[in-house]
Structure 1
Amino acid sequence: MQISDTDAAAQEPRRGRPRDPSRDHAIIDATIDVLVRDGYDRLSMEGVATAAGVGKATVYRRWGSKAELVIDAMMSLKPVVDTIDTGSLEGDIELLTAASCSPRTQRLQEVMVSICSALPREPELLEAFATRFTEPRIARITTVLERARDRGELGPEVDIAMAASLVPSLMLQRALMTGKPAGRAYAEQVVGSVLLPVLGRPPRPIAPTDVENPHD
């Protein structure tokens, strides 16, 4: 009697146990915690396994290298931002500022600070940092500014490429200098004192109580 392919497949023993998504989450969360606490250079797959409460073989089965693990951990923090189009430049900038200071973005900035020293030595990490985080964020701001120009809110003399990179660059620089994420008050200061004048708009006064203490 012939056995059909379907019957043969059904009779084959299962190979290995199904992957447990909860372990993936535990490993990713542990990776983020270890990165922020110890930095990229001191992070190890074994240390992450211990922090996650899993065997190191579990980590190695899922990720082939430390860089791959860290990239996936960073991706888990990447904010999901819907298309920003309020119909006005002011409204769009307000939403962009809020998005840059969300809890997920703040945690992502902490992770970015922890890996920056390794970027020159880790080409895979450097490429992911640029293509998955920095470039998409600048592209989103560029789209907002180009739309504002199309509505007549920005003049042709405005350097959109330069303006689009200002807030992300200064927010990251602040985080690197202080070791902490740049908060909402600093973002508002950058927008009001730097971005708006570059866009040909009057600067927005910032109350002294709204400016973060750089030593906090």
Structure 2
Amino acid sequence: MFTGQPSFLTTKLESVVNWARTNSLWPMPFGTACCAIEMMATAATRYDLARFGMERMSFSPRQADLLICAGRVSYKMAPVLKKIWEQMPSPKWCISMGACASSGGVFDVYSMVQGIDTIIPVDVYVPGCPPRPEGLIYGILLVQEKIRNSAPTSEDEWNAVDQLPETGSYLPKEVVEAITAPFGNSTNQNRSSGLVSTGAVVRVSDRRP
């Protein structure tokens, strides 16, 4: 029955696409320490992350568009984090949650990455040690604001997401692999034991008991 109400509306394509992306983010949780507990609390009933259309935590990087790195990242895990980021389809965004992920925190040691922005690009930093769930929610709101102000129909914006920025703030893949080689990782199994000071590398099979 015709009610006299309009059955259509006019808007811009960019507004519709940004509205859909803003309210249907699929987070990829990368929790390694105590910040991960706060991230879990954010998704629980008290804080109810589902209010923002993000109740589906995606543990498959190919079905996620928001990487939440919660906790410290060792150089052994750096190639894993980078590979997860590369497997996520564009457009994608990243939240660095907590002091350890953002700057290394109290772990100012040779084995810890001093900020994941040396490995992958970061859109929003959430301070704290660990930050409360409200802090993560505010970070998510900032990501949504960034999406609303983006140009979704511009292919250049998303094609350049994995390129080095003008500041060169994060390291290329070759440098990451070179740094992480002495620690080994679970992506290339390139663990090398040797004398780092002299540059000598000994294969595991050549070791003697």
TM bucket by the smaller chain?
A: under 0.3
Higher relative contact order, chain-length normalized (CA < 8 Å, sep 6+): 2
TM-score if structure 2 supplies the norm length?
Answer: 0.27
Higher gyration radius (CA)? 1
- Larger strand proportion of the pair: 2
